[in-house]
A = this chain, B = another copy of it.
Amino acid sequence: MKTKKILLPDQMIPAQWYNIVADMPQKPLPPLDPRTRRPVTAEQMNCIFAEELVRQEFSTERFIDIPDEVRDLYRIWRCTPLVRAYALERALDTPAKIYFKNESVSPAGSHKPNTALPQAYYNAKQGIKHLTTETGGGQWGSAIALASQYFGLDLKVFMVKVSYEQKPYRKLLMNTWGAEVIPSPSTLTDAGRRALADDPDCSGNLGLAISEAVETAVQHPDDTRYCLGSVLNHVLLHQTVIGEEALVQMEMAGDEPDVVIGCFGGGSNFAGIGFPFLRRNLREGARTRIVAVEPASCPKLTRGTFQYDFGDVAGMTPMLPMYTLGHNFQPADIHAGGLRYHGAGSIVSQLLRDGLIEAQAVPQLETFRAGLLFARTEGIVPAPESTHAIAAAVREALRAKEEGASKTILFNLSGHGMIDLYAYEQYFADKLQDYTVTDAELRRTIDQLDRIIK
């Protein structure tokens, strides 16, 4: 019997996270204070985030130790399996080998607990009592709910309203782990009230939910901090356990990926699988293609502009150097809620600008088609976000078939879709559609942005 799953024992859980900043030929530009246009200091960020997380945000060390308390909790589901997708390969009749890293086996059903646990840990260690955050598809919110539970922290989650309505089970999961969940835009914050005044039917977006969560946190600097599930350097850092394990597992499989693929929202899952492989490109002369896959309806990497922009709609965050669609861009209501974000983090943006990674955009219907094929071959129903990575892997595999070329593909299955099944129902009922963004729309949001930050 051929090996399908490469497993690693608990003891192989990485002892360190990998910080790619150490190896970047061009370092990412610093975040700026929008009022002064000067780099934000750690002190300024310490009132938003736990201090150790801010330290990591600015760190240039190559490896950062994972605390024992966090590694102990990682054992609940890590190391995750590396799986050879034999059945998918057969269905595609491709000469390519397809592997996926299965992050869906975590208790929250996605890769998000990889960073939720250390974030809750560092906050608790600092004496913080309350956390606030936002969530798009609900994957991050449920992960940080679990983590907050473990470390005895109170948690308030602002959930993008369209996801709140589409994914009631995500809300229930957060409740099960003790969190309070609020649909965003809400009337609890200035940012939410402004959005509702502009458009009472506003379905929300990640940028707006971030504004609400940050606003709530900064009002109680003594015992409350905000935390974020993607975009920032320290978040990407924590996710590198995925790729570090995958490096070992691919070697055990006796294979070498030609291309490594991750779906792309704010960058955490993409960085998690991609950065350790990118290290080998940067330091050891390997030539693995590292591909980020975004929805065609939110194409910041493939069609956005590289410039300083806010991380949130209300402009409360520092300005980050990012590929962006403009922080006031309102993405279509696609089911991949976790990918509905206007910008990319500064590390990923710099890497893309320097040609060290690639980006692709895939339309919604293609992703569901690929996701369904995956569900019916590999047996796992993928999260709508993850179907973007699957769709790109399928493209690569079909291209290999056309070219009659052997190729080894690795993608990250960032989460399962067991509680996103409503999206599949919509797909079956032909109620889903593709969304495109016109050049005029792109121009408009960027122009607007230029006026604001001028």
Taking the complex as formed, is A63 at the interface, i.e. its CB lies under 8 A from any CB of chain B?
Answer: no
The reply to whether B418 and A169 form a contact with Cβ atoms under 8 Å apart is yes
- Choose among B1, B5, B177 the residue that contacts A375 (Cβ–Cβ < 8 A): B177
- Across-interface contacts of A291 in B (CB, < 8 A): none
- Across-interface contacts of A105 in B (CB, < 8 A): 105
Distance of A431 from chain B, by nearest CB (Å)? 13
Distance of A144 from chain B, by nearest CB (Å)? 13
Taking the complex as formed, is A61 at the interface, i.e. its CB lies under 8 A from any CB of chain B?
Answer: no
Q: Report A1-47 residues with CB < 8 Å from chain B CB.
A: 1-5, 7, 9-11, 13
A302 CA / B2 CA spacing, docked (Å): 45
The reply to whether B379 and A107 form a contact with Cβ atoms under 8 Å apart is yes
- Choose among B75, B150, B176 the residue that contacts A1 (Cβ–Cβ < 8 A): B75
Given A1-B11, A1-B68, A10-B5: A176 in contact with B372 (beta carbons within 8 A): yes
Taking the complex as formed, is A366 at the interface, i.e. its CB lies under 8 A from any CB of chain B?
Answer: no
Taking the complex as formed, is A222 at the interface, i.e. its CB lies under 8 A from any CB of chain B?
Answer: no
- Choose among B150, B172, B376, B424 the residue that contacts A425 (Cβ–Cβ < 8 A): B172
The reply to whether B4 and A75 form a contact with Cβ atoms under 8 Å apart is yes
The reply to whether A3 and B9 form a contact with Cβ atoms under 8 Å apart is yes
The reply to whether B10 and A380 form a contact with Cβ atoms under 8 Å apart is no
The reply to whether A76 and B4 form a contact with Cβ atoms under 8 Å apart is yes
Q: Report A415-448 residues with CB < 8 Å from chain B CB.
A: 418-419, 421-422, 424-425, 428
Kindly report which residue of chain B lies nearest to residue A78, judged by CB atoms.
Answer: B5
Distance of A390 from chain B, by nearest CB (Å)? 14
Q: Report A137-185 residues with CB < 8 Å from chain B CB.
A: 146, 149-150, 169, 172-173, 175-178
Taking the complex as formed, is A392 at the interface, i.e. its CB lies under 8 A from any CB of chain B?
Answer: no
Taking the complex as formed, is A378 at the interface, i.e. its CB lies under 8 A from any CB of chain B?
Answer: yes
A418 CA / B138 CA spacing, docked (Å): 13
Distance of A248 from chain B, by nearest CB (Å)? 14
The reply to whether B75 and A421 form a contact with Cβ atoms under 8 Å apart is no
The reply to whether A380 and B71 form a contact with Cβ atoms under 8 Å apart is no
Taking the complex as formed, is A72 at the interface, i.e. its CB lies under 8 A from any CB of chain B?
Answer: yes
Taking the complex as formed, is A381 at the interface, i.e. its CB lies under 8 A from any CB of chain B?
Answer: yes
The reply to whether B424 and A172 form a contact with Cβ atoms under 8 Å apart is yes
17 A-B pairs with CB atoms under 8 Å apart are A1-B11, A1-B13, A1-B68, A1-B75, A4-B75, A4-B76, A5-B9, A73-B379, A150-B379, A169-B418, A169-B421, A176-B375, A176-B421, A176-B428, A177-B375, A177-B376, A178-B376
* 10 closest residue pairs by CB, A with B: A107-B379, A172-B421, A4-B75, A76-B379, A169-B421, A7-B7, A418-B418, A176-B424, A3-B10, A172-B425
A residues with CB within 8 A of B: 1-5, 7, 9-11, 13, 68, 71-73, 75-77, 105, 107, 109, 146, 149-150, 169, 172-173, 175-178, 372, 375-376, 378-381, 418-419, 421-422, 424-425, 428
